[in-house]
Amino acid sequence: MNKKIIDMIEYPSEGVLSKEIIKTDKLNVDLFCMAAGKEISEHTSSKEGSVYVVEGKGIFNLEGEDIEMKPGVFIHMKADVKHSLKAEENTSFILSLVS
């Protein structure tokens, strides 16, 4: 299955919109579109994952370290690490989780 990610981007007026790209027994890949000013509070995931920023600007906090979210940034996360994020402007990213 081929999908053009840029065509899937759709920003909500507020909050977060997610769209499934791939879902298998071992891999979940989703596109997240966050409205400007939206925050996702600190949490963990039981799965190892990565974030690839498609467009926008924000801050991704990984275990206390702020990482600038801008197009092309790739962030790797081990399982069970604390992280949070804030979109300073409309921001989209691909989240991949593996088990």
pLDDT per residue over 56-95, tens digit each? 999 999 999 999 999 999 999 999 999 999 999 999 999 9
- Supply the range of the domain harboring residue 83: 20-98
The number of distinct structural domains making up the chain is 1
Task: Provide the whole-model pTM.
Answer: 0.94
Q: Identify whether 9 is part of a domain.
A: no
Q: Identify whether 71 is part of a domain.
A: yes
32 in Cβ contact with 80 (< 8 Å): no
Q: Identify whether 57 is part of a domain.
A: yes
Which CATH number belongs to the domain containing residue 49 in this structure?
2.60.120.10
User: How far apart, in whole angstroms, are the C-alpha atoms of residue 62 and residue 12?
Assistant: 25
